Amino acid sequence: MRIPLDPHSSQPLYRQIEDYLRQAIRSGSLPPETRLPATRQLAEDLGVSRITVKNAYAELESDGLIASRPGSGTYVSPPLLAPASPDRPADIRWPLWQQDLPAVEAPAIAKPPGRDLNARAHPDPIAFTGVGDPGQFPVRNFLKSIQTVIRRDGVAALEYSGFDGGYDPLRETITQVLASQGIRAQPEHVLVTAGSQQALALACQVLLKSGDAVLVENPTYNFALELFRTRAVKLVGVPIDEAGMQVERVETLLQQHHPRLIYTIPNFQNPSGACLSVERRRQLLALAERYNIPILEDDFVGDLRYDGRALPAIKALDPGGRVIYIGTFSKMLMPGLRVGFLAAEGPVYDHLLRSKLVHDLITSTLMQRTLDDYVTIGRYQTHLRRSVRLYRKRRDAMLEAIRRHLPTGVSFQSPQGGLFIWLELPEDVSALELAPFAEQQGVGYSPGSLFFVEPAQGEGYLRLNFATQDSQRIEEGIRRLGEAMHRLRQAAR
Ligand code: PMP
């Protein structure tokens, strides 16, 4: 344990040790049941006498913060024995520069809504949130790939490498995945990132400065909105319909707002599930060309298609350098891998690469190699086929349950793929007022307000993830949602 001590301070050394440990215990960084170092060990580590450490421990023990167990050691006491004190984190007097930071709504980031369903309100909550079903993660096969890589590559798997955009074999594999989607990219145009969220952030960093305007679908992916907001850009929302962004409206908006970037999720859009029609894809590209604006194409679940024909990526229509394409292994495989990528050509690639380097140098070498082994060996395609079969069933189960249990006046489209069903509520049901009733019934969802440029525009919408629960729980969860709507209406009478 390293405790900063000041031998010139007027405060005795044992007090400095005591204060440090007291703070650490009260802030939770030394949680209950943590074993403290033996006095002899700590005295050696700190270069002080043993009696100094003993005195510090004795003070803490007499305050009930730690307790020694004969023959075992000294442990941090449970919180009941550690009385609340004025130096809890909430009471710390922050320096002025910290106090000057503007308030941010951390809960939206720390606790995705619907996932923090109050378990006390219901013993068995069902949350239609998240991304894929963790029960389907190919854990065993992935473990085999990790073992293969470590055995095969040894320390190389644990070194820094791939400073020019990632692990080369993975970049080649990604190129092949892209080719199967009609995108002709070269490995040197592929940059491996820490999830596609980082790819979004790098594009923002490189292309936008504060005050610039960005054109987005409205509604759109909430953490893209959050990202743009942190960059203090002006968000210009384009309404969507069942064929995605209403591109017919875009030209006027380009003339009015002169955006520096167009952000779009053309396949199974988050949150609406809509697919941008081929015609609109072409029109959007033509407009971007005419007005000299880059397109950021976020294809987060492009491979999860359950019916209909695959549509060409906008990137596949790009003669070169107009579109920055973003993909991820999070939804098709596992979000915790934190491996995504972007494909871009021209000078912008070098800017994106430089931005990547200064942010985190490289994406985990071990993860990149493991993912490459897993994907190359064909398990990825098998896993993908299985996920498509399973999620199609769940989508159908949810559509049926919605028809069966939700009141008339609820409207929705059947998504051809992806993860979400976007519900428009009847006029007399607001997502905000529904929340306590849904919580009581034990059903969670993402409220529409998260996804709009102006959150109030989302009052009449909910996003439901159909991929994370099995058919039985989907049926039960939607029944509960119907019941919550019914109770809200009764209460409003
Ligand atoms: N784009 C969209 C549309 C998303 O929904 C998400 C996450 N849910 C991301 C990007 C980022 O995902 P990741 O960083 O895990 O690739």
Residue pLDDT, tens place only, 120-166: 578 999 999 988 899 999 999 999 999 999 999 999 999 999 999 99
Least confident piece of the model among 90-94, 304-308, 393-397: 90-94
For a ligand 1 pocket test, name from 265, 300, 420 the mutation site with the most ligand atoms within 8 angstroms of its C-beta: 300
Q: How confident is the model over 439-460, as pLDDT tens digits?
A: 999 999 999 999 999 999 999 9
Residue 268 has pLDDT above 50, yes or no: yes
d(CA 197, ligand 1 centre) in Å: 6
Cα–chain center distance at 284: 27
Looking at residue 300, its pLDDT comes to: 95
CB of 328 within 6 A of ligand 1: the answer is: yes
Q: Separation of 278 CA from ligand 1 center, angstroms?
A: 23
Residue minimizing CA distance to atom 11 of ligand 1: 197
pLDDT band at 400; cut points 50, 70, 90: very high
- What is the predicted pLDDT for the residue at 114? 46
**Predicted local confidence at residue 453, as pLDDT:** 97
CA 277 to centroid of ligand 1, rounded, Å: 22
Question: Tell me: the pLDDT tens digits for 65-77?
Answer: 999 998 899 999 9
Flag whether pLDDT at 89 surpasses 80.
no
Q: What pLDDT is recorded for position 338?
A: 96
Provide mean pLDDT across the span 262-274: 98
* Residue carrying structure tokens 């968000």: 235
| Residue 301 near residue 384, CB atoms below 8 Å | no
pLDDT in tens, 363-380: 999 999 999 999 988 888
Q: Which atom of ligand 1 is nearest to the CA of 330?
A: 15
φ, ψ for residue 269 (rounded to 5)? -50, 145
Q: Which of 113-117, 219-223, 254-258, 476-480 has the lowest mean pLDDT?
A: 113-117
Residue 189 has pLDDT above 90, yes or no: yes
Encoding tokens for residue 376?
A: 């190359």
pTM here? 0.85
pLDDT at 332 exceeding the cut of 90:
no
Of 68-77, 86-95, 194-203, least confident by mean pLDDT is 86-95
Range in 99-113, 289-303, 318-332, 397-411 the model is least confident about: 99-113
pLDDT at res. 107:
44
Q: Is the Cβ atom of 341 under 6 angstroms away from ligand 1?
A: no
Nearby residues of 214 by Cβ (< 8 Å), 6 or more positions away: 208, 228, 233, 234, 235, 236, 259, 260, 261, 262, 263
Is the pLDDT reported for residue 111 higher than 80?
A: no
Cα of 299 vs centre of ligand 1, distance in Å, is 9
Short-list 174, 246, 180, CA closest to 215 = 246
Any atom of ligand 1 within 6 Å of the Cβ of 335: yes
The DSSP code for 426 is P
- The per-residue pLDDT for 346 is 94
| Closest approach atom of ligand 1 to CA 197 | 14
One-letter amino acid of 382:
T
Measured from the CB, is residue 332 less than 6 Å from ligand 1?
A: no
Query: Residue 65 C-alpha to ligand 1 middle, in angstroms?
Result: 43
The minimum-distance atom of ligand 1 relative to the CA of 131 is 8
The residue ranking higher by pLDDT, 49 or 103, is: 49
Q: Are 169 and 423 in contact (CB under 8 A)?
A: no
441 lines ligand 1 (CB under 6 A): no
Q: Flag whether pLDDT at 1 surpasses 90.
A: no
pLDDT at 6 over 60: yes
DSSP code of residue 134? G
Q: Is residue 222 in contact with ligand 1, taking CB distance under 6 Å?
A: no
- Summarize the confidence of residues 473-479 as an average pLDDT: 98
Q: Which of 193, 196, 304 has most ligand 1 atoms within 8 Å of CB, for mutation? A: 196
Residue 109's pLDDT is 45
Q: State residue 474's pLDDT score.
A: 98
Q: Ligand 1 centre from 302 Cα, in Å?
A: 12
**Ligand 1 centre distance from Cα of residue 196 (Å):** 6
3-state secondary structure at position 259: coil
pLDDT at 101 over 90: no
Residue 465 in contact with ligand 1 by CB distance below 6 A: no
Secondary structure percentages of the chain, helix, strand, coil, to 5: 45, 15, 40
Residue 87 has pLDDT above 60, yes or no: no
Q: Is 446 in the pocket of ligand 1 (CB under 6 A)?
A: no
Nearest-atom index, ligand 1, CA of 328: 16
pLDDT mean across residues, the chain: 92
